[in-house]
Every structure is written in C-alpha cells, then in structure tokens.
Amino acid sequence: MKKLKLLYEGKAKKVYQTEMAQRLIVEYKDDATAFNGLKKGTIVGKGIINNKMSNRLMQRLEDAGIPTHFVTELNDRETVVQRVSIVPLEVIVRNIAAGSFSMRYGVEEGTVFEQPTIEFSYKNDSLGDPLLNMDHAKALKLATDAEIATIRTMALRINEILKSFWAECGVTLVDFKLEFGRLSDGTIILADEISPDTCRLWDAKTGDKLDKDRFRRDLGGVEDAYAEIMRRLVSHDEK
C-alpha cells in the first residue's frame, strides 16, 4: 500500500490517503506538544515507540473482541488503518486521580477511585477540547444516545483489558484517552492511538512516571521513560 495525498497533519501524526478508499496510512512523528500546543518539543524515537505500542495494544484488544482501526504495520513509523469519521469526543478513562481531574476537583494525585471514571471532552483544538456532559454532546449533535452507550461500554471494557495487561508488566494504568470512529456503515470502532502520549503509566513499585507527563512537567528522562515502557511491553510479549 502506498501513501498518496496527505489528508491531515495533527500534532503527533500525519494521515495519508491510499489507493484503497477505505484504508489510510498513519505516520507517527517525534513531535510532542502539551497544553493544546502551547508547549512544543521533540521526543527522539517517540514516533516509532507509539506506532509499535499502539499496534500491539490494538491487536490485543482485537483478540479480546474490541473492533479497532488497526489493519497492518508497514514499518517503524507507518501503519495502515481503516478509514473512519472520527467521533469528535475525547473519551478519558481514569482509575486514579491525576492531571486535570486532580487540578479541577482538588483531589490529590494518586487517589485511587472505587470504580473507573469516564469523562468526555469536545475534540476541538480551537476551543481547547472543553469538558462536556452527555446532554452537551447531544445538543452539539456529536453522537447519538446509542453511540454514546456503545462508546462507554467499549471504553470500560478496554480499561479492564489494558489495566490487567499493564499490571502484568509491572505498570499501573492511571488514566488514558481514547478516540472512536464510525465506519461507512455506522459501526463504532476504536481509532487514534494508545501510547505513552495518551496514557498515564506509573511503575507499579516505584510510582515513576513512564509517560508523556515527563515532557509536560519537565521531569527529564523523557526518552528513557518511553524506551522503558516499550521494553516492558516487549518483554511481556516474549515471555
């Protein structure tokens, strides 16, 4: 499969049209941004890690019955995915308070929830991805009731699968962001990526952050953290 026209360039990925109408090629970049693009940088090798990690995790989810956009990995940075129209919702699942949840509600980072918490934002960069509730989502016609119900069920199931997978790697899955898309027949599938850019992953023993918070918060050791989390995944799969 070949990259034809560049359809879209986001902060961390480029998306290309291919010779097949229902297939796209995603190319992962090393560019990193935070705070809606206010902070910019490069995480050397990130594109390769995010591509490979996202693909492995999506294959794992597929095996567990979750439909995803993943088709085939072409090379270090490029993957063929199913073409979808993205549902403009950022779906955030949290197991432990951190980041914007801790800030907004004054809850200490690290507070473990009794059950997972789902939160939705309106995927809209010019508005800064504002938090919204399901009435807002319906008023804005972002998704139907049935789609929202499907997305919630899938997000919770994905959390269960990923939480136990990362636990086997000695990693605590604190929270993560998902995006879903619609196929041409309306079927909802998981899209975008699952990577250290989009998840909070803490070493289960030391609590060390092995994700993009090292970049967001200037903690140092960013590349090492990405390499370490990838190493955990690869060594799990080799066992």
Binding residues (CB under 6 A) for ligand TMP: these are: 92, 98-101, 175-177, 198-200
Which residue, 81 or 199, has its beta carbon nearer to ligand TMP? Answer: 199
- Minimum CB–partner distance for residue 197 and ligand TMP (Å): 6
- Minimum CB–partner distance for residue 20 and ligand TMP (Å): 28
Chain centroid, CA 31 distance in Å: 16
Is there a contact between 144 and 152 (Cβ–Cβ < 8 Å)? no
Which residue, 18 or 56, has its beta carbon nearer to ligand TMP? Answer: 56
- Minimum CB–partner distance for residue 217 and ligand TMP (Å): 11
Sign of the Cα torsion 58, 18, 90, 190 reads negative
CA dihedral 47, 72, 63, 94 (to 10 degrees): 30
| Non-local CB neighbours of 214 within 8 Å, separated by 6+ positions | 220, 221, 222, 225
- Minimum CB–partner distance for residue 22 and ligand TMP (Å): 26
Which residue, 20 or 34, has its beta carbon nearer to ligand TMP? Answer: 34
